[in-house]
Amino acid sequence: MFDTYQKQLGIAVLAIIGLTILSIFIGVSDVTPEKLFANSDDGRALQVLLISRIPRTLAILLAGGSMALVGMIMQILARNRFVEPSTAGTVESAGLGLLVVTVLAPEMPIFGKMLVASLFALMGTFLFLRILRSIPLRSVLVVPLVGIVLGGVIGAITTFFAYRLDLLQSLNAWLTGSFAGILSGRYELLWISLVLMIAAYIAADRFTVAGMGQDFTTNLGLNYNRVMTLGLIIVSMVTAVVVVTVGMIPFLGLIVPNVVRQMQGDNVRRTAPWVIVIGAGFVLVCDMIGRVIRFPYEIPIGVVVGVVGSILFLFMLLRKDAHVA
Partner 1 sequence: MIEIKNVTKAYDKAVVVDGVTLQIPAGGITSIIGPNGAGKSTLLSMISRLLPMNGGQVLVDGLDVTTTAGDVLARRLSILRQDNHIGSRLTVRDLVTFGRYPYSKGRPTVEDLKHVRMALQYLNLESMSERFLDELSGGQRQRAFVAMVLCQDTDYVLMDEPLNNLDMKHAVAMMKILRRAADELHKTIVLVLHDVNFASCYSDYIVAMKDGKIACHGSPYDIINANVMCNVYEIDVAVQDIDGKRIAIYYT
For partner 1, the binding residues (CB under 8 A) are 76, 79-80, 204-206, 208-209, 211-216, 218-223, 261, 265-267, 269, 325
What residues contact residue 120 under an 8 Å CB cut-off, 6+ apart?
A: 93, 94, 96, 97, 98, 100, 240
Select 62 or 76, whichever has its Cβ closest to partner 1: 76
- Smallest gap, in angstroms, from Cβ of residue 10 to partner 1? 21
Select 27 or 211, whichever has its Cβ closest to partner 1: 211
Total Cβ atoms within 10 A of residue 40: 10
- Smallest gap, in angstroms, from Cβ of residue 276 to partner 1? 18
Q: CA–CA separation, 199 vs 218, rounded Å?
A: 22
Q: CA–CA separation, 124 vs 89, rounded Å?
A: 6
Of 80, 73, 60, give the one whose Cα is nearest residue 200: 73
Using CA atoms, how far residue 318 sits from 8, 55, 314, in Å, is: 25, 38, 6
Select 79 or 186, whichever has its Cβ closest to partner 1: 79
Select 188 or 205, whichever has its Cβ closest to partner 1: 205
SS3 assignment, position 134? coil
Select 57 or 80, whichever has its Cβ closest to partner 1: 80
Using CA atoms, how far residue 247 sits from 31, 126, 284, in Å, is: 27, 22, 16
- Smallest gap, in angstroms, from Cβ of residue 207 to partner 1? 10
- Smallest gap, in angstroms, from Cβ of residue 325 to partner 1? 6
Select 209 or 284, whichever has its Cβ closest to partner 1: 209
- Smallest gap, in angstroms, from Cβ of residue 324 to partner 1? 8
Q: CA–CA separation, 5 vs 156, rounded Å?
A: 45
